[in-house]
């Protein structure tokens, strides 16, 4: 059913995803309309399926990007800090940047340096993307996403993630983990949400919510197929 949403332009792809019920939120629809998938996807950008982007990586299918953005939506407020692990092409990082406000911050992390550069190049293909990179609303860093990410100033920051401070309002993981890494849950703010595909072979989306009181709830969602979260090549 997913491939039925394919279109001949960015606008028709998004319209078809919406009419097939794969995008239900107007905010997500507008964010995906504002980021041209062709800037991130060298082949068949408007087909609703994953595509290769080099470095043995793929850009996920548009309906999966939509589903992740919709799941994280309640946490994407104007000043939110978001971490996109396995940022690959940079497409979802850009959509998440469209969803937070000008004072929000979205960090994309990938362990392949070539993909960190490619994602920034892709974002630079639009005027809005160049502004986001200049203002720091979007940034790409290299690292092992299984460890999450701490901004330099955070190393010093005190606090338990309540009402701002260190940590992430939402963490998206774009590759399948062996487990919902506890360190990622620790790095969530209160409240905060982690969206992570988990499993070897059979994989499921897990949504992990940290409440204002620090309590953690885990919910297993749909079955999916992602490339695995691995050691960096050559390690
Ligand atoms: N959200 C991306 C998905 C890219 S595919 C997109 O739609 O374009 C998954 C990505 O995870 C790849 O870019 C791969 O390099 C990255 N990856 C795999 N293991 C990783 C790890 N341990 N740390 C950081 N990135 C990782």
Is the per-residue pLDDT at 142 higher than 90? yes
Ligand 1: centre distance to CA 229 (Å): 7
Asked about 135 being catalytic, the answer comes back as no
Alpha-carbon gap, residue 197 to 174, rounded angstroms: 7
**Across 60-86, average pLDDT:** 97
Instruction: Please report which confidence band the pLDDT of residue 61 belongs to, taking 50, 70 and 90 as the band edges.
Output: very high
Give the model's pLDDT for residue 233.
84
Ligand 1: which residue has its CA nearest to atom 26?
86
- Closest-lying ligand 1 atom to the alpha carbon of residue 86: 11
What is the tens place of the pLDDT at every residue in 77-104? 999 999 999 999 999 999 999 999 899 9
Give the model's pLDDT for residue 151.
83
Give CA separation, 143 vs 51, 107, 146, in Å: 23, 11, 9
**Across 206-218, average pLDDT:** 97
Give CA separation, 101 vs 27, 30, 80, 184, in Å: 12, 14, 8, 23
What is the tens place of the pLDDT at every residue in 25-57? 999 999 999 999 999 999 999 999 999 999 999
Q: Do residues 146 and 229 touch, judged by C-beta distance below 8 A?
A: yes
Considering the chain, what is the average pLDDT of its residues? 93
Pocket lined around ligand 1, Cβ cut-off 6 Å? 57-60, 85-89, 91-92, 109-112, 115, 144-146, 174-175, 227, 229-230
Alpha-carbon gap, residue 133 to 136, rounded angstroms: 5
Instruction: Please report which confidence band the pLDDT of residue 3 belongs to, taking 50, 70 and 90 as the band edges.
Output: low
Is the per-residue pLDDT at 155 higher than 60? no
- Write down all domains in the chain, each with its CATH number in brackets: 64-224 (3.40.50.150)
- Closest-lying ligand 1 atom to the alpha carbon of residue 112: 15
């Amino acid at each position: 059913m997913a491939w039925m949403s394919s279109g001949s332009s960015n606008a028709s792809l998004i319209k078809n995803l919406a009419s097939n019920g794969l995008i239900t939120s107007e905010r997500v629809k507008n964010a995906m309309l504002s980021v041209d998938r062709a800037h991130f996807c060298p082949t068949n950008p408007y087909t609703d399926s994953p595509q290769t982007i080099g470095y043995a990586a793929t850009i996920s299918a548009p309906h999966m990007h939509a589903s992740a953005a919709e799941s994280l939506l309640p946490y994407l407020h104007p000043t939110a800090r978001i971490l996109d692990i396995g940022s690959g092409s940079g497409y979802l990082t850009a959509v998440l940047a469209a969803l937070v406000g000008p004072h929000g911050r979205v960090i994309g992390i990938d362990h392949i340096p070539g993909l960190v550069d490619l994602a920034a190049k892709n974002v630079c293909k639009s005027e809005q993307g160049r502004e986001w990179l200049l203002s720091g609303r979007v940034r790409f860093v290299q690292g092992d996403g299984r460890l999450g990410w701490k901004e330099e100033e955070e190393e010093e920051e005190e606090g338990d993630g309540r009402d701002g401070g260190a940590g992430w309002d939402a963490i998206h993981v774009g590759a399948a983990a062996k487990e919902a890494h506890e360190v990622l849950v620790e790095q969530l703010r209160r409240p905060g949400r982690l969206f992570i595909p988990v499993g070897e072979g059979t994989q499921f989306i897990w949504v992990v919510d940290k409440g204002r009181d620090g309590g953690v709830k885990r919910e297993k969602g749909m079955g999916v197929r992602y490339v695995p979260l691995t050691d960096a090549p050559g390690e």
